Amino acid sequence: FVFSLEGYYKFTEGITRYINFPKYHIEAIATGKSRSYGMDVFLQGNFKNHSAWISYSLSKTEEFFNYFIERDYRRSPYDQRHEVKVALLLNFDPFYFSTNYVFGSGFPFKPGVVQSDPSEDFTYSRLDASFIYKFLDRKLKGEAGISVLNVLNRQNIKYTNFERIPTSNNSISIYAEAIPFTPTLYLKFAL
């Protein structure tokens, strides 16, 4: 078994953000700073030719820009409090199977809100799987396989942004989706 526990604190200066406030005729690139801190836990086990591992991250990421009215750090758009990853690799030579699952508690989905409640974040959940057959001949070796990303076809949000509507005080949220259900077949040869 392999076990590790790590804590971290990272301070970064010089991060940039495009800001656009048409009502006040302000369009600029703002420079700010951020801080991230948390811990990572990792456990891996190997059994014969097989392997499994799990990791957990607890983190907090905050940022500060001079245009913030409250003059204090606020939650970063990239702040995700919890993330769990699990992987399983099975080796039944010449057949190989792997799967992994990722769960994230989500990123803030209200970019225009000063303090967003982490319980309202969109969670991230993705299961991937692959199957490989390796073949060996005197003159030819290769492999054939299938890989499927996002097996359960979960609609995950990669990031969010918002745009203010110039003629009103309203805004719209823009969401970019992460990887959809994606099957891939492949065949590889080597002489």
CA distance 127 to 83: 14
pLDDT band at 36 (very low <50, low <70, confident <90, very high): very high
User: Could you list the residue range(s) of the whole structural domain that residue 136 is in?
Assistant: 2-190
pLDDT band at 85 (very low <50, low <70, confident <90, very high): very high
Strand runs (DSSP E) across the chain, as ranges? 2-21, 26-47, 50-65, 74-75, 82-92, 95-104, 124-136, 141-149, 157-164, 171-177, 182-190
pTM for the structure as a whole: 0.76
**Alpha carbon separation from 76 to 68, 91, 108, 180 (Å, rounded):** 12, 41, 8, 25
SS3 label, residue 191: coil
- Is the preceding omega at residue 94 within 30 degrees of 0, hence cis? yes
pLDDT the model gives residue 77: 83
Question: Per-residue pLDDT averaged across 42-68, rounded?
Answer: 94
Residue that is written with structure tokens 């800001």 in the block = 19
pLDDT in tens, 106-121: 877 655 555 555 556 7
Number of domains present in the structure of the chain: 1
pLDDT the model gives residue 76: 87
Q: Residue 168: how many CB atoms within 10 A of its CB?
A: 8
SS3 label, residue 43: strand
Q: What is the mean pLDDT of the chain?
A: 85
Question: pLDDT > 90: what percent of the chain?
Answer: 51
CA distance 128 to 180: 11
CB-based contact 150:177 (threshold 8 Å): no
What six digits make up the tokens of 109?
């989905």
pLDDT the model gives residue 191: 74
CB-based contact 26:11 (threshold 8 Å): no
Could you give the dihedral angle defined by the CA atoms of residues 11, 13, 19 and 21, in that order, rounded to the nearest 10 degrees?
Answer: 90
pLDDT in tens, 137-191: 778 889 999 999 999 988 877 655 555 555 555 555 555 667 788 899 999 988 7
Residue 60 CB contacts under 8 Å (≥ 6 apart), including other chains: 36, 37, 38, 79, 81
